[in-house]
């Protein structure tokens, strides 16, 4: 993706600040990827034979993780949760490996039952953001300075979304003049 360590960490942290993964059931109940599905199923997402195949029955990765106690809000609870607990390896309902917080209370809301709470869970990639010497230094700083994460995420997200839009001189509208997103101008043509 041509992202540096700060940009990579910002995109993972920002992406895991909201939402969840989908591993409610066995991964072998998920059909082929949408492009390989029969023509009548293409464009409709992943077909699943688990329950209804959607909502609480959705399966994509087979990993069932909700990262934060506030999965619908942008805040610093992802990093707070990541650094607050020690983690132990467990299996998702689908049998995939993931991590659960040790000695934790259920504080994460169940996405489909407002009266239920879950234990905090993480992926191995999440733990690497804490334990890796390079990523750990970056994310520890953001834990203490969340405004820096917001700025780094905004820049990395902008770069990710605009990287294939051609030279910045061709952008239409205002607000692009100060956003380089890692782009270098194309050289002037020597032909007419």
Using CA atoms, how far apart are residues 63 and 130, in angstroms rounded to an integer? 20
Q: What is the pLDDT along the chain (192 residues), one digit of tens a residue?
A: 689 999 999 999 999 999 899 887 887 888 888 888 889 888 887 788 888 888 888 887 888 999 999 999 999 999 999 999 999 999 998 888 999 999 999 999 998 998 999 999 999 999 999 999 999 999 999 999 999 999 999 999 988 887 777 776 777 776 655 555 555 555 566 776
Coil, helix or strand at residue 23: strand
50 sits in the region (left: phi over 0; alpha: psi -120 to 50; else beta) called beta
Residue spans of the domains in the chain: they are: 1-18+63-164
Q: Where are the beta strands (DSSP E) in the chain?
A: 87-91, 97-101, 108-109, 117-118, 121-122
Rg (C-alpha) for the chain, rounded Å, is 20
* Beta strand 87-91 pairing with 97-101: antiparallel
Give CATH for domain 1-18+63-164.
1.10.420.10
Look at residue 154 in the predicted model and tell me its pLDDT.
Answer: 92
């Amino acid at each position: 993706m041509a992202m540096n360590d700060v940009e990579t960490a910002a995109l993972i942290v920002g992406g895991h600040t909201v939402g969840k993964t989908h591993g409610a059931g066995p991964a072998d109940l998920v059909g082929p990827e949408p492009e390989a599905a029969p023509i009548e199923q293409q464009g409709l997402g992943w077909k699943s034979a688990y329950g209804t195949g959607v909502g609480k029955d959705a399966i994509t990765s087979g990993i069932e993780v909700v990262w934060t106690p506030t999965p619908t809000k942008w805040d610093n609870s992802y990093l707070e949760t990541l650094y607050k607990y020690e983690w132990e390896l467990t299996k998702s309902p689908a049998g995939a490996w993931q991590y659960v917080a040790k000695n934790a209370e259920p504080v994460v809301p169940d996405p489909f039952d407002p009266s239920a709470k879950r234990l905090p869970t993480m992926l191995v990639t999440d733990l690497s953001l804490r334990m890796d010497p390079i990523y750990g230094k970056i994310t520890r700083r953001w834990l203490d300075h969340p405004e820096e994460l917001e700025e780094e995420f905004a820049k990395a997200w902008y770069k990710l979304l605009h990287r294939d839009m051609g030279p910045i001189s061709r952008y239409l509208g205002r607000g692009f003049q100060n956003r380089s997103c890692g782009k270098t101008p194309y050289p002037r043509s020597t032909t007419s």
